[in-house]
């Protein structure tokens, strides 16, 4: 990726090196929306550790008609971000931090443009960099759960160590694979602004687990599609992609598919337990966004997935 020449975002909260303990705090259900990789192999361990099923922690996907993919869905779900507090970027010599800052800036530019075109205003999310564990409006979350977005505070949370796991354990290396992870979480932020997250959460509380999982899959696939929409415009407007980037993204989407994760964890592949979609589904929707650059093409709630 040609990310170095791009502008940087100041909407980064660097909490690395801060001592965060889970003690006295319960990891809460109804928390973040994850990429679906994030030490997913460690996820079961984490689930055992916290005594709850992080695999089904909030995700969602409401069949709420017309919400999915429509930028006309309307902002005003009543859960928008609180006013920005302190802002801090990252140090010049912090390459990993600079990368996040550059990709975040690019997602800001793309989504601001797309919201504007739809007559809406894009409210930028913050990205929190942390190590080991972090407290958010979604409770305490261990790094083992992977990157996530918390709708309650409109922030994306990433332990950069995840990218090592992604490359070494999940065989999904490359800068575009990492950018896809961030853009997927930003995709959840877009869903939050459009009111999708809330509609889905509400619906999920009313249905059996299998259906709640199915809604989760549709939500996650839409976030994948939105990641593709971002990449489409980043390339069209700023020629961000280099040869090989597309392949890195498609490979990452395959490696973090639920079937691949289950297989790699030595578990039986059971589609009812999918929360993020199969490898093929994740590739399909990432590609749909990449190819079209159109958020309307990401209506996973009213499409065959």
Give the nearest distance from C-beta 211 to Zn ion in angstroms: 18
Scan for tokens 């003690």, then name that residue: 23
Question: Residue 181 or 240: which CB sits closer to Zn ion?
Answer: 181
With contacts defined by CB under 5 A, name the span among 9-17, 221-229, 237-245, 287-295 that binds Zn ion. Answer: 221-229
Q: Which of 1, 27, 33, 105 binds Zn ion (CB under 5 A)?
A: 33
Between CA 210 and CA 1, with CA 260 as vertex, the angle to 5 degrees is 115
- From residue 180 to residue 219, the character string flagging contacts with Zn ion as x (rule: CB under 5 A) and all else as - is ----------------------------------------
Phi first, then psi, for residue 12 (nearest 5°) are: -120, 135
Query: Under a CB-based contact definition with an 8 Å cutoff, are residues 277 and 257 in contact?
Result: yes
227 binds Zn ion per the rule CB under 5 A? no
Give the nearest distance from C-beta 243 to Zn ion in angstroms: 27
**Angle, helix 209-238 to helix 196-206, in steps of 10 degrees:** 170
Of all helices (H) and strands (E), which one includes residue 197?
helix 196-206
Closest CA to 223 of 65, 32, 13, 81: 32
With contacts defined by CB under 5 A, name the span among 101-109, 119-127, 153-161, 223-231 that binds Zn ion. Answer: 223-231
220 binds Zn ion per the rule CB under 5 A? yes
Question: Residue 186 or 290: which CB sits closer to Zn ion?
Answer: 186
Per-residue exposure over 236-274, b if at least 16 CB sit within 10 Å of its own CB, e if not = eebebbeeebbebbbbbbbbbbbbbbbeeeeeeeeeeeb
Give the nearest distance from C-beta 276 to Zn ion in angstroms: 6
Question: Residue 12 or 145: which CB sits closer to Zn ion?
Answer: 145
Report the interface residues with Zn ion, using CB under 5 A: 33, 220, 223
């Amino acid at each position: 990726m040609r990310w170095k020449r791009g502008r940087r975002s100041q909407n980064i909260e660097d909490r690395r090196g801060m001592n965060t303990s889970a003690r006295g705090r319960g990891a809460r259900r109804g928390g973040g929306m994850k990429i679906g990789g994030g030490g997913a192999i460690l996820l079961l361990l984490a689930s055992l550790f916290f005594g709850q099923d992080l695999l089904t922690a909030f995700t969602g996907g409401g069949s709420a008609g017309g919400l999915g993919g429509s930028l006309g869905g309307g902002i005003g779900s009543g859960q928008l971000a609180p006013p920005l507090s302190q802002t801090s970027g990252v140090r010049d010599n912090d390459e990993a931090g600079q990368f996040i800052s550059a990709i975040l800036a690019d997602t800001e530019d793309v989504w601001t443009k797309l919201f504007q075109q739809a007559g809406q205003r894009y409210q930028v999310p913050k990205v929190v960099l942390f190590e080991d564990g972090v407290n958010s409006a979604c409770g305490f979350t261990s790094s083992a759960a992977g990157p996530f977005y918390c709708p309650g505070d409109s922030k994306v949370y990433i332990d950069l160590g995840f990218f090592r796991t992604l490359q070494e354990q999940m065989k999904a290396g490359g800068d575009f694979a990492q950018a896809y992870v961030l853009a997927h979480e930003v995709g959840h932020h877009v869903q939050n602004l459009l009111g999708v997250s809330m509609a889905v959460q509400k619906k999920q509380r009313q249905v059996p687990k299998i259906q709640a999982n199915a809604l989760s899959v549709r939500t996650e696939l839409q976030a994948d599609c939105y990641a593709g929409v971002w990449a489409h415009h980043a390339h069209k407007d700023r020629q961000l992609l280099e040869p090989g980037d597309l392949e890195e993204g498609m490979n990452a989407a395959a490696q973090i598919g639920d079937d691949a994760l289950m297989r790699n964890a030595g578990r039986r592949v059971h589609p009812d337990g999918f929360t993020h979609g199969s490898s093929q589904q994740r590739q399909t929707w990432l590609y749909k966004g990449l190819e079209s650059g159109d958020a309307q093409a990401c209506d996973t709630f009213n499409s065959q997935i």
